[in-house]
Amino acid sequence: MIQLILGGARSGKSRLAEQMAKDSGLAVTYIATAQALDTEMQERIAHHQQQRPSTWNVVEEPYFLASQLQQLDAPNQLILIDCLTLWMTNLLMHEDTSLQQVECQKLLALLPDLQSQVILVSNETGLGVVPMGEISRKFVDESGRLHQQLGQIADKVMFCVAGFPMILKGEKV
């Protein structure tokens, strides 16, 4: 089962995903995509680490998500990926300009074949104005394309607002 949880910043999407992982009764592997490039991000990462159960396996992977998923895949487990937005940022800022397209295609091809249950968390970026800068527009465009493609693959898609999930696809919570 693949679940996609979208929402704005501080919408409750990560908290919802983590609660769903806890409630699953499965062994959980948490894939963190953030990079601690500055003090503020280091503090955010530390806060998230404190919120997670110590029994979860945690893997940090800023670029090669599909390869990591392939290595970790096993039946009777849940893999929680938080978040695709930071992953997309990492890919777009990488010196290899083709990496984003290649890695997104690998992820989309691999997801349907995984034995693990997967929860993907990402920020919905298509609700605001069109950004003025080229890299910002590319980020919004590429994130939107990825979300649409993931939505087609996912068994369940949710949109989180003010801590409340709205089911867009699949059965109710």
7 is in an annotated binding site: yes
13 is in an annotated binding site: yes
151 is in an annotated binding site: no
* Known catalytic membership, residue 48: yes
Alpha carbon distance 26, 17 (integer Å) = 14
Alpha carbon distance 24, 161 (integer Å) = 22
What's the Cα-to-Cα distance from 7 to each of 16, 76, 163, rounded to whole Å? 11, 27, 9
34 is in an annotated binding site: yes
User: Which of 47, 48, 94, 147 is an active site residue?
Assistant: 48
Q: Which residues contact 162 (CB under 8 A, 6 or more apart)?
A: 11, 12
125 is in an annotated binding site: no
46 is in an annotated binding site: no
Give the active site residues. Answer: 48
Query: Which residues contribute to the annotated binding site for GTP?
Result: 7-14, 32-34, 60, 82
**Residue positions forming the annotated binding site:** 7-14, 32-34, 60, 82
